[in-house]
Amino acid sequence: MAYPEGLSSAVKLADLPTLAAMKVAAERDKDIIDLGYLVNAMGITDPAELVDLAYEKYGEDSIPLSQGRLNYEIVAEEAIAAARRFKQQNREDDA
């Protein structure tokens, strides 16, 4: 298929840190599971590191992170807890 000049059929995907930041900012329950897998893939074990990552991507005064750091720390803690559960399940499945 031919595309007009300057356009292509390529799809750009977010990298893992950007995707994690987006999911932290969204604060949706359904994103906690995804965040669990993402933090495992990125080796993040500290909720503060996940929150810092989101603020690095969006900035301190950004609209996506307008609820305050404490709010996103709760999201990050839930994501890290999910990540630990996934690791435990994998160990049990491998045993």
Q: How confident is the model at residue 10 (pLDDT cuts 50, 70, 90)?
A: confident
Please give the full DSSP string across 5-70, using - where no structure is assigned.
TT--S------HHHHHHHHHHH--HHHHHHHHHHHHHHT---HHHHHHHHHHHH-TT-STTTT-HH
State pLDDT tens for residues 24-51: 999 999 999 999 999 999 999 999 999 9
The pLDDT score that the predictor gives to residue 93 is 86
What residue spans define the domains of the chain? Answer: 16-94
Handedness of CA 67, 73, 74, 76 (dihedral sign): positive
State pLDDT tens for residues 44-88: 999 999 999 999 999 999 999 999 999 999 999 999 999 999 999
